[in-house]
């Protein structure tokens, strides 16, 4: 259908005004705080293999750490401008709501009650998981239903306890809980035979298993008793900051779909004829300006950590010791459910 000439003239007159307004998007409270400090305060774990753990040089590595780096690069142009805040399950949400951190990226599951009652907002899922069970291979256990009467270790202030209670009641299974304040304590308890099984999100258990001296002595059961979507959380009340963190995550996913990598990002910016690539990397359009950021905010994020697939592979996939299949975390057009909204 052709639009009337008068309407076309009106739209043409409004377009420059809209572009000017987008280019002048003011910095909200959180963005101003981060810029004034010159660093992003990011909440991660006290140590969690494949997610946030120091390497031999003391540099924090993992999928959660790289999400923080991507946001720092997008906002400040430098992925190293970070203040790491190492949080437990108990203090992670208070640290966010009181302003100790600007974002929480700590293998934190997005749930209804957390989103609606804690004063936080979850941004964009960056990993889909489910709760599983780690057992010793010599126990001969092949199904979670064989854990009737078992002693099971898990961490407090997590979704694991309620999931375990719901599952055990529905299955008529009894268990003895052994609860710890953090994952390191729970892992050590399992290693020292204080419990028959260690339960947690399957990806975390796979990473723990890979770090054991002899991973073959332990089995990650195939059973999954919950759904655990991880998403960075931010404080309620700052829509601009919510959108910034959300669209950095989505930008990494979109980059994988478009074939933009850490190594080729500059070349794609200069040479790709794709309008979608040009918009994502800031050559055209006003994605960055609409958020109060530099037009190259996603280019900077991708150059800092790579696209979503590269981040996944480095810490959980074939490039890691964990070697966890992508499963639901594959792109939507490759059999998974990872998808970005249209970046336009």
Is 199 in contact with 153 (CB distance < 8 Å)? yes
pLDDT confidence band for 16 (50 / 70 / 90): very low
Is 252 in contact with 171 (CB distance < 8 Å)? no
| CA atoms of 50 and 321, how far apart (whole Å) | 9
| CA atoms of 223 and 56, how far apart (whole Å) | 34
Phi-psi label, residue 37: left if phi above 0, alpha if psi -120 to 50, beta otherwise: alpha
Number of H helices, E strands in the chain: 14, 14
For the entire predicted model, the pTM comes to: 0.90
Query: Residue 241, CB half-sphere, CA atoms under 13 Å: how many?
Result: 25
Non-local (6+) Cβ contacts of 13 within 8 A are none
> What is the pLDDT, as a whole number, of residue 44?
98
pLDDT confidence band for 171 (50 / 70 / 90): very high
**Burial of 9 per CB tally in 10 Å (0-12, 13-18, 19+):** exposed
| CA atoms of 246 and 337, how far apart (whole Å) | 17
Which pLDDT tens digit goes with each residue over 266-320? 999 999 999 999 999 999 999 999 999 999 999 999 999 999 999 999 999 999 9
**What average pLDDT does the segment 65-75 reach?**
98
Is 79 in contact with 60 (CB distance < 8 Å)? no
Which pLDDT tens digit goes with each residue over 88-136? 999 999 999 999 999 999 999 999 999 999 999 999 999 999 999 999 9
Question: Does the pLDDT at position 246 exceed 50?
Answer: yes
Specify the pairing of strand 60-61 against strand 82-86: unpaired
Question: Does the pLDDT at position 15 exceed 50?
Answer: no
């Amino acid at each position: 259908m052709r639009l009337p000439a008068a309407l076309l003239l009106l739209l043409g007159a409004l377009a420059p005004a809209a572009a000017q307004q987008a280019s002048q998007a003011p910095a909200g409270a959180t963005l101003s705080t981060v810029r004034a400090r010159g660093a992003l305060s990011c909440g991660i774990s006290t140590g969690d293999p494949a997610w946030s753990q120091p390497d031999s040089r003391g540099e924090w590595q993992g999928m959660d750490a790289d999400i923080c780096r991507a946001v720092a690069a997008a906002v400040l142009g430098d992925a190293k401008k970070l203040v790491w805040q190492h949080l437990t399950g108990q203090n992670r949400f208070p640290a966010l709501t009181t302003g100790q951190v600007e974002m929480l990226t700590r293998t934190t599951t997005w749930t209804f009650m957390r989103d609606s009652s804690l004063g936080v907002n979850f941004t964009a899922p960056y990993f889909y998981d489910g709760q599983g069970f780690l057992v010793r291979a010599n126990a001969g256990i092949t199904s979670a239903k064989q854990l009737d009467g078992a002693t099971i270790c898990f961490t407090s202030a997590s979704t694991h306890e309620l999931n375990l209670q719901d599952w055990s009641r529905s299955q008529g299974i009894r268990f003895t809980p052994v609860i710890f304040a953090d994952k390191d304590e729970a892992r050590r308890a399992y290693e020292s035979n204080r419990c028959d099984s260690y339960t947690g999100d399957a990806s975390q258990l796979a990473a723990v298993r890979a770090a054991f001296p002899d991973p073959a002595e332990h089995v990650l059961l195939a059973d999954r008793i919950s759904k655990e979507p991880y998403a960075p959380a931010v404080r309620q009340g700052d829509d601009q900051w919510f959108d910034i963190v959300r669209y950095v995550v989505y930008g990494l996913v979109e980059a994988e779909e478009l074939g933009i990598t850490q190594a080729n990002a500059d070349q794609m910016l200069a040479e790709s004829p794709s309008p979608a690539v040009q918009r994502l990397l800031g050559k055209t359009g006003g994605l960055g300006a609409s958020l109060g950021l530099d037009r190259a905010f996603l280019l900077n994020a991708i150059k800092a950590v790579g696209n979503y697939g590269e981040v996944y592979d480095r810490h959980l996939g074939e490039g890691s010791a964990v070697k966890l299949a992508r499963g639901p975390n594959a792109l939507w057009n490759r059999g998974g459910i990872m998808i970005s909204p249209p970046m336009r």
